[in-house]
Structure formats: structure tokens, C-alpha cells
Amino acid sequence: MDEKFKYVFEAHSPIKIKNIPWSFCKYCGLVFLNNQATKWCIKMGCHNSYHPQYKQTINKLTKSK
């Protein structure tokens, strides 16, 4: 098994900037949009792209109807 990057949960640190309706994480830069894929990324923390289910989940969630 190739495990170059191990997924570790690290909570996001959302910050809010005036005049911008969305928060974003100051560590990974994730923009907190209101969609299923983003919600999953929020739940999984800053290292969500290292999560073993990342590609599969994002593909599933971003495929709209």
C-alpha cells in the first residue's frame, strides 16, 4: 500500500473578511461554500484531500444529477 501522505484530521480555521460573503480557512484556503462537496471537506478538516475516500467522494458529490 502506497501511503505517501497519511490523512490526519486537522480542524479548519475559518476566517471572515468584510465584503466577502464566504468564510475561508486560513490554513488550507478552503472556501466555505454551501454545497455537498464543500461540506464534506469541512467535516474532514484541512487535510481532506489526503483522505482515502477523497476522490471518490468528491466525484460523487460534484456530479450533479
The residues that touch Zn ion, with contacts defined as CB under 5 A, are 12, 25, 27-28, 30, 46
Query: Nearest approach, Cβ of 50 to Zn ion (angstroms)?
Result: 12
Nearer to Zn ion, 28 or 61 (CB): 28
Nearer to Zn ion, 30 or 58 (CB): 30
Contacts within 8 Å (CB) and 24+ apart, 35-43? 35/61, 36/61, 37/61, 37/62, 42/12
Beta-strand ranges (E) seen in 1-65 are 14-16, 23-25
Which residue is at the shortest CB distance from Zn ion?
25
